[in-house]
Structures are given as structure tokens and as C-alpha cells.
Chains A and B, each alone.
Chain A
Amino acid sequence: MSEDQLYFDLDMPIPETPPPGETPEPWGQTNVVGKRLARVDGYERLSGSAVYPSDVILPNMLYGAILRCPHPHARVKKVDISRAAQIPGVHAVLDAADPDADVNWFHGSGQRPKLFDSTCRFEGEAVAAVAAETPYQAHDALKAIAVEYELLPFVSDEREALHPEAPLVHEESNLVGEPERYERGDVAAGFAAADVVLERSYRTEAELHTPMELHGCVANWDGKDLTIWESTQGVFGVQFWVSRILGLPVSRVRVIGNYVGGGFGSKLQPGKYTIIAALLAAKTARPVKLFLSREETMLTCGNRPASNMTLKAGVTKEGQLTAMELNGSGSGGAYSGRGVSLLDWLIKDLYLCPNVRTELTNVYMHTGPARPMRGPGHPQGSWALEQMMDELAEHIGMDPVQFRLKNIPTTSQAREGNPPYTVTGLKECIEEGAKTFGWQEAKRQTAQSRRSDDPIKRGVGMGTCTWVVGDGGPPATIVVKLFRDGSVNLNMGASDIGTGTKTVMAMVVAEELGINPELIQIENADTGTTQFATPSGGSKTVPTESPAVRDAAIKVKQQVLEMVAEENSVDVAELEYLGEEIAFRSDPDKRVKITEVGGLQRRGLVVGVGYRGPNLEGKAVCPFAAQFCEVEVNSRTGEVKVLRFLGAHDSGRVLDRTTYDNQVYGGITMGIGFGLTEVRILDHNQTGKLCNKNWHDYKLPTALDVPADITSLPIELDDPEANTTGAKGLGEPVTIPTAAAIANAVYDATGVRVTETPITPLQLCELLAESRKEG
């Protein structure tokens, strides 16, 4: 995937939007932006009054459930629904034989198999569905459906998928296209010029998104109109695919997702459940609620694929990288082409290196399709790159911080034409982060800890990152209405997935219009009432939407100023918009209150429609970060305790400091999971099935696993070229270098390199025992 093809586009046509108005000057002193503001929808989320899609209850509503194939690879020979249809409370049973179910699903990678395909290529593939009066009855009905499967051989380990005898997932090879190749400079010459060349293999295990709210929706038909309340990161993607799959006019499909209980990339697209709920609702002429079980989401709603990486890197003794070469492989499961998406991006782009070659091999296997997960490819690549950087630094006797500072790029080397970054905050992130963390002092202390007899060892580690996008861009359309009493309505298509989008946008309006954010009501994420927005993902929502919000607010302001100018027979340039009132430059004593503007009073409201302008051509806008951590390792038990973390992030201008800090905490927490606890365990040899499809066996970090001491250190550098608010993405960078920083800290504490995630006590114990033997 090139950096221009955005993974969240979902193969849907992305509309163009008109250009915005005149580019405003960057904000100088701000009154609201950059401060701390409690979430504007906090009351709803905390009182229980927020209606999440899973909370929707409609009169006469039925409950849907899906029967899923329990095998990784099987042919459905016979489905007998006769008993299920007799279960009390059951209103509909749907299977492949039903003409209503004769629709084609999309799998992202161009494949359009039937909704209930006769070949199930992963455990959890949908086979049939039911709707009943209660979810209990629906599950009774599922149990009563008799399916005869022909079991087929499977491969559920991507490392085995290209073996000549490996069963094929599709008719042709398990190789998904040709390997992706990239090359710049002269890699052989680069290695020849190096004083130290290292080659290491790394592996990261598959991670599951598991947002707290389950995947699913409520579907309701009103004549020809279909309304869907879906737990989604983007209502317009759901609308597009539902209308396409069911052959409905876009205007007849309304998707509402005012709240969503987390997504992390797994809710950028609709699910088969969306289509099935709509079909069941049509069949029963009743609203249908269809939310998956936790187990089903773990099987079918995506993952961050496991990756296998061999990285070779050369460095001079002065600390200049001379060449890097990466061979990576992975699998997006049975359908997705996303097995190795962006796995090599950091290796190509993060550090200054003239000679780079990468090759990525993507294969099919019999597991649930991958979906983008928070910084696709990046935490995996970081796991390899950042450990390699530390090892190179050690070989040339240089501090890891100093070594990285010697390799700061000012251009985006991986992009065509090597464009300069508008701002590279990497250096400042590393320097300021190290200073605030107390890196040098901490290193001194951990060196002492390593020499002591105490089995509890301390270590510090760091890692840095950039994120391929995070610049945002068109399209974005925002409607801001100023009412005659000075209150405001903000209308936006984008979802707030918990990152604080609504709060941030309210602050932008409040800043521009000089009003109290409490006067702003927000309507969002409803295809029936808001304008097209791309799904909230890719750390692009703030830099995409906030300039359009600013544009809309400015347009409101201009109209009000024109009214006042006309009513007072002065030039617009004479006037200054101060929020609640308008001042006259020529007469410092003269003021007109907003509520006294005749035009506004007569019309009742002024509407501003804002758009997002294109990004500057020939420049790259990217966030940067450096994270630092301290860990304690029990060298007897292999337990790792994370004591403290610091995230120094250059994401441009901070719009809301409150939600900004919370993103940093959350990203680090998720990174702790990736590094220490999370692994999708597949029974490769016996059954091919997922062994830990629940939160008891798939371990998320709990309140006992994360440090209370996490410092968020924004590195705010002016980036006026980025966009008109100067903000860049944050939600993904915050989780990219975390796991690698922990691995580096574990090395600092123990002298053991853990090259495979997660760093479990078992794995670390074994490695420590080996290292003692080698002595």
C-alpha cells in the first residue's frame, strides 16, 4: 500500500469537496484552544443517557444471532433449519438456500463471495442466522440448526502457508500477489561502508482489537427506508457498503452512530452482521438488534496480524546508519490483503539512511480477516527497528539517545520525490523527552542495579516513531449555525470514537467565534443529518475536520460582520469580531452585541459551511514521538513491571490538553499489552482454532498492569504549513514505540534481548536461563 492509498477508504469513492474560504492566519494567543476542557459529551457518557448503538431498544424489536462455522476450513454440505424454525419465539431463519440471502459480501481485497459462502475459510465464518423474541431464544435456535460440514485441510500459521504441501485458501497460491518490494540507494555499498553490521530476526504476535462495545447494529425498515444504528467509526462507509450490497439507493439507507464504544480500527467497515440484521429485519418486518458475542468478535472482527521480520542494518562507528534491509512476512487471514500493510514504513522513513531495501510477503491462511489496527504495521516495524537501533548503539559504544539524534531526517525519505517535512519534531521529542524523563541519571542507576545481587533488576528503554499519515486532508464538510441568541450548532459527519473529537471541534468553534463552549450543541455521525466524512481512523480526524470547522466558523463570522457593516454603513474592515459583541475600530466605545445584529435577529440564524483545503504539495506532514520507560524485572520469575512511562509527542498544536493526555495514556497502555500480555493463540497443529477467544485467556492490561506514573509531554512546534489549525494526528503515534521501548528497557535490566512479543514471564525465564548457561 502506498502512503497515498488510505486504508480507511474501504474501496469507496471519496467525494471531492469545494475549496475552503481564504486561508486564515495561524492563531496567535488562544483563549480556548490548547487549554483543558472536560468532554462536551461527558454528561451523557457518565450519566448513562448516551445511547450507544448497543443501547438502542425499539418497540417490537427482535434479536438476531449468527451461526458460525466452528472449523478453520470446511465445506457446508447441508443446513437443516426445520427444527430451529419451530423453536418458540423464533421469527426467521436465514441460510444460503434462502433467496433473500443471495447477496455478495465484500472482503476489502476485491473478493465478493456470497454472504453465506458454501466454503468457510476461517473459524467463525457465517453459515446461517436467526431472529427471535429474545437473545436466549435466538441462541436456542442456533443450537437447533443442523449443519453437515465436510472438513477440509487448513493452514493457520502464516509461516507454513507457502509450504508446497500447505492447503490452499483460495484456488490459486496462498501468496497474495507478488511480494511488495522497495529499494533506494545502493544497499550493498551501504553495508560495505559500515563498521558494524547486524542481522536479527523478530516476531510480533497477532493482537486483537477488542473494543469494549461489541460489534453489531440495530436495523429497522420503515417502508423503503432502512435505518441502521451501528457501532462504527464511520457511518458513511457503512451506508455506502450497505446500499451497494443490498442494491438500495444511498438516500434510503440511514446510518446512525452517535456514540461508539471504541473501535481501534476494527469498526472502520460494516460487518456481515450489518447486512444480516437488515435482511432479518426485512424478513420479519420487525426491528432487529444483532450484536455479536465477545467470542465472535475475536474470531471475525479483525486483528493486527502477526509479523515475521529479519532486519539487517549497518552503522559507522561515528553513528551514521549506512544501510538497512528488511524481509517481512505476515498474513491478513483468509481474505484481507492487509497482512503486511506498512510493516516497513518506519524502516524506510524514520531515521536518516541513504540505502534501504525492503521486501514484504503477504499470504493467505485459514483465519479471520485482519482489519487495520491502531497504526497498522507500525508497532510491529518499531519492535524490530528500535531494538536494532539499541543494539547498534551498544556495538559502537554510543548512548541510544545520542545515536538516534545522529540520524534525524528532515525529509520523508520513503515518499516519492523525498519531500521535506513541514516540521520534524523528532529531535525535540528525543531531547526534551530524555531531559524530562531524567534519562542519563536513570541509566546510571540501572547500571548499578544490574551489577547488584538483588534479583529485582531495573532498566530503562526508549523508542521513537513517526506515523505515515496523521496529516489529514480533504474531504471534510462542516456546518456551523449561529442562532439569534448567540448559541451555536455544530454539524459534522465524523464519529467521536472516544478520542475527544466533539470536544476538540467545539473548542475550535469557541475559539473562532469567541464564545463559551457550553453554548455549542453538536450533531454528528448520522448520514441522515450530517455531511460526508471519512471514518474516524488513521489519526487524521483532528487534522482533517478541525480546519473545516475553523473555515465554517469564519464564514459565520464574515456573514455577521457583513450584516453589521451594512446596518451601520461602515466597511467590514472597520469591524472586529469579539465574540459576544462586535467592535468598531474607528470608535473604541462603540459596540454591537451579537443579539442586537438586525440581520441575525430577522433570519434567526446564520449558516457557515466549511471545507478542508488540500495539503501543501511537495511537503510531508507527519507526527513524531519519543517514548521512555522504566521497568522492574524479577530475574527469578521473569515478571516485568512497568514503573513509569513518558510520551513526548510532536503532534503539532495541542487543541484540547485533556483529551490529548488521555490519548497518550491510552496508547501507552495498549502498547504495554502488545509488548507484555497480548497474543492470539491458534492451535496450529491440531484443530486450527483460536484457543483464547475471551478476555480471560487473551490478556488485556488491567489497572494492576499499568503505571500510574505516565507523563504526557507535548512537543508543540509551530507548524503553520500543516493546516489552518496546525494540529497533526496523535491517536496512533502514542502506541507505536511503546512495546519496543519496553523491550529495550528489559534488555537494559537483564542483558537479554526479547525478540518475540509478548514478553511473558515464561518466555523471559527461559531466555534468562539460557543466558545464565551461556554465562
Chain B
Amino acid sequence: MKDDFDPKNCRCKMGMTRRGFLKTVGVSTVAVAASQQLATQTVAAEQELKPEEMAKIALVVNGRKRRLLVEPRWSLLFVLREKLGLTGTKVGCERGECGACTVLVDDEPRYACLTLAIEAEGHEITTLEGLMDGEKLGPVQQAFLETDGYQCGYCTPGQIVAVEGLLRVHANPSVEEIRRGVSGNLCRCGAYPNIFKAVQRAAELKRQGGAP
């Protein structure tokens, strides 16, 4: 790999990288602190919530507001999949290693397994389903179809969302930027070469204004 990528000079927000995982932990500490504030406001500054006590939250998922009762310990991943039935977001490790659960939180790829549902309140959450153009595949999905950027398809939603996040800040990424952009998303089937092609094709489709 050519090392022409200089993170210091890159102003872009990249997809979730494996190294970026540590950063995420840092970020989520801040987010937890912030959401604790939020949570505190929500439950009117009572005592701390017990795990089994339910908190009332509202999540904006794919542009729609969803009101929910959640345990404070529930991950965003669990809520999306098991409570909202948005099973496009997959579960691979539940410990921030594989990226199968990647969603966009305010345009930025985040591991939903490491994000508590309560911390996601007040943010725009986009899942794989939210990238559809009605019943039609969105441009990144269409690009994965055309380039066969998947095999079993289980890491694919995470890959697609990571790519969407990458392209939102980086309309025309180089191969090295693409590699880094999806390096937080494991693919055990090993479709990586086609995933790289898919990102290039997706960038092209987006420039043309969407899927054909």
C-alpha cells in the first residue's frame, strides 16, 4: 500500500477505522457524559436510573421520530434490531471490532453496538434501510450490486453505511482512502477487492445524482 495518506493534513472525517476504534471509545465517553446530562434532564433530576428502570427517549431514525422506553444499558444496536425491527443493521461481535452494526449518527459512521440508545437521542440516525430510494436501492447499494461487493451479505450493511459516511465527506476518495474508510468493517468472505470497486462505482453514481 502506498502511504500517501496523511491523516494530519486530511480535513475529512473518515469512516470508522480500526485505529479509530480507540478514538470512538474516547468520543463515546464524552457522549455518555453528555447523555447522562440529557438523561438527567429527561428523568427530572431524580436519582440515578437503575438498569432495569426504563427511560423514555425519542430517536430520530431514518428521518422519523420514534418514541421508546429503553433500559439505559440497551445498545442502539439492540433497539434498532429487536425493538424497531430494523434488522438491516447486523450484529457481529457486540464489542466494536467488526463494524457489521455500523450506522450513521449525524452523517458519521458509528458502531451501534458501542452506542447506547440513550446517547443516540437528539442525533440523526441513518441505517441501511434509510439509504433506500423508496423501494429502489440507493446509489451505494446499487454500486455493491453491480460490482458484487459482497458474498454472504452479512457484513455488507455495515460496509455500505461506512461507505455512505465516507462519500458524504469525501466525494471522490482514492483507493487508499477507500481502504481506510472501510478498514473498520471486517468481511470474512473476503470480498474486499470488489468492495473497493463498489466504493468507486458508488462515488460515480452519486456524482451522477443517484442510482440509474
Q: Identify the A interface with B (CB < 8 A).
A: 38-39, 42-43, 45-52, 54-55, 57, 88-89, 134-137, 209-214, 259-262, 264, 291, 293-294, 497-500, 641, 658-659, 661-663, 665-670, 694-696, 700-704, 706-710
Contacts and interface: CB of A to CB of B under 8 A. Distances in A.
Contact of A46 (B98, B153, B183, B195): B153
B88 A262 contact: no
The 3 lowest CB-CB distance pairs between A and B, nearest first, are A48-B88, A669-B190, A261-B154
A213 B152 contact: yes
Contacts of B129: 47-48
Given A212-B186, A665-B192, A666-B189, A498 B137 contact: no
A260 B152 contact: yes
A212 B98 contact: yes
Contacts of B91: 54, 214, 291
B204 interface: no
A707 B194 CA distance: 11
Given A46-B150, A662-B194, A670-B190, A212 B92 contact: yes
A259 B73 CA distance: 30
Contacts of B111: none
Given A47-B132, A212-B92, A706 B193 contact: yes
A693 to B, nearest CB: 11
A47 B95 CA distance: 25
A52 B182 CA distance: 23
B150 A708 contact: no
B140 to A, nearest CB: 9
Contact of B189 (A50, A54, A262): A262
B156 interface: yes
Contacts of A89: 52
Given A52-B154, A662-B194, A47 B92 contact: no
B111 to A, nearest CB: 12
A498 B153 contact: yes
A659 B148 contact: yes
B187 interface: yes
B148 A658 contact: yes
B190 A294 contact: no
A666 B149 CA distance: 11
A29 B114 CA distance: 54
Nearest to A137: B52
Contact of B190 (A45, A52, A668): A668
Interface residues of B, number: 61
Specify the main secondary structure of chain B where it touches its partner: loop
Contacts of A51: 87
A261 B93 contact: no
B22 to A, nearest CB: 11
Given A49-B88, A702-B183, 19 more contacts: A48-B127, A52-B154, A88-B52, A136-B78, A137-B52, A211-B152, A212-B100, A213-B154, A294-B92, A294-B97, A498-B152, A662-B148, A662-B151, A662-B194, A667-B190, A669-B192, A696-B95, A702-B18, A703-B183
B150 A45 contact: yes
Interface in B167-205: 175, 178-180, 182-183, 185-196
27 contacts: A42-B145, A46-B144, A46-B145, A46-B153, A48-B86, A48-B128, A51-B87, A136-B73, A137-B52, A211-B154, A212-B90, A214-B92, A260-B152, A261-B90, A261-B155, A262-B188, A262-B189, A294-B93, A294-B95, A498-B189, A666-B190, A669-B192, A670-B188, A703-B195, A708-B175, A708-B192, A710-B193
Given A214-B91, A294-B94, A701 B190 contact: yes
Given A47-B141, A212-B188, A696-B97, A641 B152 contact: no
Interface string B97-137: 11010000000000000000000000000011100100001
Interface of B: 1, 18, 51-52, 71, 73-74, 78, 81-82, 85-95, 97-98, 100, 127-129, 132, 137, 141, 144-146, 148, 150-157, 160, 175, 178-180, 182-183, 185-196
A91 B190 CA distance: 40
Nearest to A706: B192
Contacts of A709: 193
Given A498-B152, A696-B97, A708-B175, A662 B191 contact: yes
B87 A498 contact: no
A662 B193 CA distance: 9
Contacts of A260: 152
Nearest to B81: A55
Contact of B187 (A88, A135, A212): A212
Q: Most chain-A CB neighbours within 10 Å: which of B18, B52, B182, B189?
A: B189
A497 B152 contact: yes
B79 to A, nearest CB: 11
B183 to A, nearest CB: 5
A587 B82 CA distance: 63
Q: Most chain-B CB neighbours within 10 Å: which of A210, A261, A696, A701?
A: A261
A704 B186 CA distance: 10
A291 B195 CA distance: 28
A703 B182 contact: yes
Contacts of A668: 190
Contact of A499 (B88, B89, B151, B188): B151
Contacts of B183: 702-704
